[in-house]
Amino acid sequence: MKKFLWVILLVTQGTSLYAQQLISGKVVDAETNEPLPAAHVIIKGTYQGTIANADGEYSLRIDTFPATIVVRFLGYESQEQIISSADESPLDFYMKEAFLELDEITVTGEDPAISIMKEVIRRKQIWRANLSTYQVDAYTRQQILKDTSIVSITESISEAFWDKERGTREILKSKRQTANIEGADNFAGVSYLPNFYDDNLEIVEFDVVGVTHPDALKFYDFELVDFTKIDDDIVFEINVTSKRKLQPLFEGTIFVLDHEYALIAVRLKPNSVIVFPPPIRNFDLYYEQQFSDFGGDFWLPVDFRMEGSIKIGVPGLQFPPIGFKQISKLNDYKVNSALPDSIFEQFNFMRVDSSTIGKSDSLFVNTVDVVPLSAKEEYAYATVKCNTSLEEEFRPKGFLVRFMDLDDGDDEGQRGNCTEAEIAADSTLATSSSTRTRRVRKEPGPVKKFMNDLAVDARFNRVDAVYAGLKHEKRFANRRIETTTKLGFSTGYEELNHGIDVSWWPLKKTRRFAVEAGYEFTTDTRYQSDLYGMVFTSGMSLFGYEDYFDYYRREGIYVGARFRPRRSFGTRYFFKYRLEDHQSIDFKTSYDIIGSSTIQRLNPPINEGTLSSIELRMERGEGKEALGVIGADNVMLSVEQSLKAMGSDWDFTRFKIDVYRRYSTFYKRRFIPNSLDLRLNAGTYLGDLPVQRNGAVDAALGYFTPFGAFKSKRYIPFEGASYATLHAEHNFRSIPFEALGWRKSAKSGISLIAFGGIGRTWIPNEQEQFFNANLGYLPTSTNEWHGEVGFSISNIFSLFRVDLAYRVDKPGLYPGISFARLF
């Protein structure tokens, strides 16, 4: 039955479309003959219409004749013409200016624009309350430009849906693009475009208060600067400026129709707050939009026009300015009609109609009113070839280019998006293709394949000294089995490290579950850091600073599994059973490459014996690996159980938690708002925990002071069987500098950060007795709470941040440097 109804629907639609006829023409100034771009052409008494292109040309499909065509343009008298058939095309309109004569007006006190905008906002709230849904046909065309030349065009025909409660959705019906753009890269559409009648608008990830927001008068200054006319109605021209200098807002001009007190057009651009940090050096954006009530109760968008440019670069690497333009028109509104629930079931704002998207140009030619191509756009369609890549057009310059892997015009790059027919038609491409087909690609031999899978595994510390090794990773069996083999040699205590790990994904239809097993004989750290690894800390002892870790020898096997639930937002579960033999390493060297006088501390003994334990771990999120360069949202929870009943020499249960969180605080409407970043890292235990299972409260690596480590504790971390630490930093971004009058600070990316931290470790009596008996002293611990506060200047040269910490429990200042917090 559903199929039968679908056939009937197709037939009835086809009959209706077949009945449509096309009219076209120009809209120009009657005296100068200059085109009037974006003139609004509508069929009177309907929601159907179009706009003129940059040359003043339009085309419009008519369902029934006779029809009355109405053309409107701001500052001109509207024109109407009744047509009885499409044979009357071309239908040109010569528009006459609407001259306005007003007596001299004396303004005292409040600017008249204030009362005008109050009435606009009041009336908008009335009719907007009655607008629940709409459905509209849309056409969009986007250009990318280099200087003034068009390097690509993308077009789309779509159907857009708006629901007051559920938001917007769009179904793409057809696409068209220049030969150098693949259909999959054509993202032209209207669902993500702003409606300047909205209270809040999302502009390039900034949340901007609209000019008709209920509180717009708190954010904007409105000034009546001129009057114009459309037909017999006065139109107020109102200048808009930002009242709040630190909020992302609009500036420009809006036009309000007298008596109706409705926006009929806007010409706006983002204010100076809407900027981006490096590598974006300049970003210009301009918007225009028209509105019409189509003779009804609701003022709806007629079109949307955008023009702008972006310049990207850092010292040593500069890209040419990238220009862009967009024009969209909205036609044939269906207001307050029931929308199908199915289009809102998926989160995707834009979907593709598979029944029409593959029919190249059919909708463009046969059914939908498109804004005619300008002469410049027609030239671009005729001359932009399939091998004109955007990468080549916007190739960067500068000394850093030599370090980039750029397409140097090889055969694949030259072919671009070209079809075989296009290659044959182009002699250059055909020659390249012919040469390429004669070239036989030699399959790498087994030795070459083996070498491609090898990686260096190296580190330096006071126990291993120079550790040199290799790691080989290989996937096979349709990538369902992965092996990792390791072999290395410690030049310090002169031992081989070796091991193998095997992972298997047994489920045929998913890679969310894996089992794993392995064997390893290696050096490990005696206390465990959730921030640093042995490779990362190699520079400490290599350059004459105190070694960060203590070490022991570990040999053992493990088996386990890992699982990633569907739609888990990055949640992963791990299970591991390990059986290991732990031995002390009685060796250390004080060698470093700069010949310093630092004498490294002894490597302490451990509680030697056999560990047999089960660990359950949950991880979720991402970002902590960036050491504060970006915001992190991570959770790690771990429980390890060791039992003598399983053959272990110790009975203990160990708990660990490591949480990173980011919260937006102030100026949330900005692309990158002020933010508070937190890290909570803690661990504790039950039973008799061996010293090689202790945790660490991380410290700075000398003057390197990343987020998550104490900046006022250097070289060696605090150690404890139980530990707890909380780090916090608030990034004010460029707001303090902007408030002081440095308006370009937001563009530079410079940021002011306030930070603080508090932490403590606990060493149990049993471990104290062990260390005193074997070392004669206790390892580094806090004894009491360690606290610090400070501030940072971040994004220096877009690379670094400078920190200055004050230690509270033992007063002192500690400068440092780390990676810039970019986002």
User: pLDDT averaged over consecutive 10-residue blocks of the chain (823 residues)?
Assistant: 32 38 91 94 90 91 88 92 78 88 62 95 96 94 92 92 92 89 84 91 91 96 92 92 92 95 96 83 91 92 93 84 93 92 82 70 63 91 83 84 60 52 53 45 73 91 95 91 96 94 92 95 95 94 94 97 84 97 94 91 95 97 85 95 97 97 92 94 96 96 95 95 97 93 84 97 93 86 93 90 96 94 83
What is the Cα–Cα distance from 528 to 533, expressed in whole angstroms?
9
Pair 479, 507 in one domain:
yes
User: Minimal CA–CA distance to 130: which of 162, 164, 161, 160?
Assistant: 164
CATH of the domain at 149: 2.50.20
Q: Running DSSP on this structure, what letter comes out for residue 321?
A: P
Residue 787 identity: G
Pair 183, 158 in one domain:
yes
Pair 697, 786 in one domain:
yes
- Whether 626 is covered by a domain: the verdict is yes
What is the Cα–Cα distance from 227 to 598, expressed in whole angstroms?
80
Pair 48, 86 in one domain:
yes
Tell me what percent of the chain is helix, strand and coil, each rounded to the nearest 5: 15, 45, 40
Pair 644, 681 in one domain:
yes
Q: Would you say 347 and 379 are in contact if contact means Cβ atoms under 8 Å apart?
A: no
Predicted TM-score (pTM) of this structure: 0.74
For 573-591, write each residue's pLDDT tens digit: 999 999 999 999 999 999 9
Pair 568, 714 in one domain:
no
What is the Cα 63 distance to its own chain's centre? 44
- Whether 377 is covered by a domain: the verdict is no
Q: Running DSSP on this structure, what letter comes out for residue 371?
A: P
- Whether 10 is covered by a domain: the verdict is no
Pair 760, 820 in one domain:
yes
Burial of 447 (C-beta count, 10 Å sphere; 0-12/13-18/19+): exposed
Q: Please tell me whether the peptide bond between 279 and the residue prior to it is cis, using omega within 30 degrees of 0.
A: yes
- Whether 163 is covered by a domain: the verdict is yes
- Whether 467 is covered by a domain: the verdict is yes
Q: Please tell me whether the peptide bond between 815 and the residue prior to it is cis, using omega within 30 degrees of 0.
A: no
CB atoms within 10 A of CB 804: 17
CB atoms within 10 A of CB 41: 26
Pair 79, 147 in one domain:
no
Q: Cβ neighbours of residue 797 under 8 Å, at least 6 residues apart?
A: 315
What is the pairing mode between strands 21-29 and 93-95? parallel
> Is the CA virtual torsion 525, 530, 533, 539 positive or negative?
negative
HSE of 186, CA atoms in CB hemisphere, 13 A: 24
Q: Please tell me whether the peptide bond between 811 and the residue prior to it is cis, using omega within 30 degrees of 0.
A: no
For 296-340, write each residue's pLDDT tens digit: 899 999 999 999 999 888 777 888 999 999 999 998 999 999 999
User: Minimal CA–CA distance to 651: which of 679, 622, 688?
Assistant: 688
Pair 191, 56 in one domain:
no
Which of 51, 68, 95 finishes a domain?
95
What is the Cα–Cα distance from 62 to 77, expressed in whole angstroms?
23
For 165-194, write each residue's pLDDT tens digit: 999 999 998 888 998 888 888 888 888 889
Check residue 411 and give its pLDDT. 46
> Is the CA virtual torsion 392, 397, 402, 404 positive or negative?
negative
Pair 587, 657 in one domain:
no
Backbone angles phi, psi at 507, to 5 degrees: -85, 130
- Structural domains of the chain, count: 5
Q: Would you say 649 and 609 are in contact if contact means Cβ atoms under 8 Å apart?
A: yes
Q: How many helices (H) and strands (E) does the chain have?
A: 15, 43
The token pair at 463 is 């126990």
Pair 300, 251 in one domain:
yes
Taking phi first (over 0 means left), then psi (-120 to 50 degrees means alpha), and beta for anything else, what does residue 593 get?
A: alpha
Pair 71, 143 in one domain:
no
What is the Cα–Cα distance from 524 to 682, expressed in whole angstroms?
21
Residue 694 identity: N
User: Minimal CA–CA distance to 463: which of 585, 583, 362?
Assistant: 585
Which of 558, 590, 606 finishes a domain?
606
- Whether 624 is covered by a domain: the verdict is yes
What is the Cα–Cα distance from 17 to 472, expressed in whole angstroms?
63
- Whether 733 is covered by a domain: the verdict is yes
- Whether 763 is covered by a domain: the verdict is yes
**Distance between first and last Cα of the chain:** 54
Which of 404, 422, 438 finishes a domain?
438
Query: Scanning the structure block, which residue is given the tokens 């250009």?
Result: 143
Which residue range is the domain that position 147 belongs to? 112-365
What is the Cα–Cα distance from 415 to 406, expressed in whole angstroms?
16
Taking phi first (over 0 means left), then psi (-120 to 50 degrees means alpha), and beta for anything else, what does residue 149 get?
A: beta
Residue 585 identity: I
In 623-721 the beta strands, taken as DSSP E runs, fall at: 633-642, 652-664, 675-687, 694-697, 699-700, 710-714, 718-720
HSE of 450, CA atoms in CB hemisphere, 13 A: 5
CA gyration radius, the chain: 34
Q: Would you say 627 and 819 are in contact if contact means Cβ atoms under 8 Å apart?
A: yes
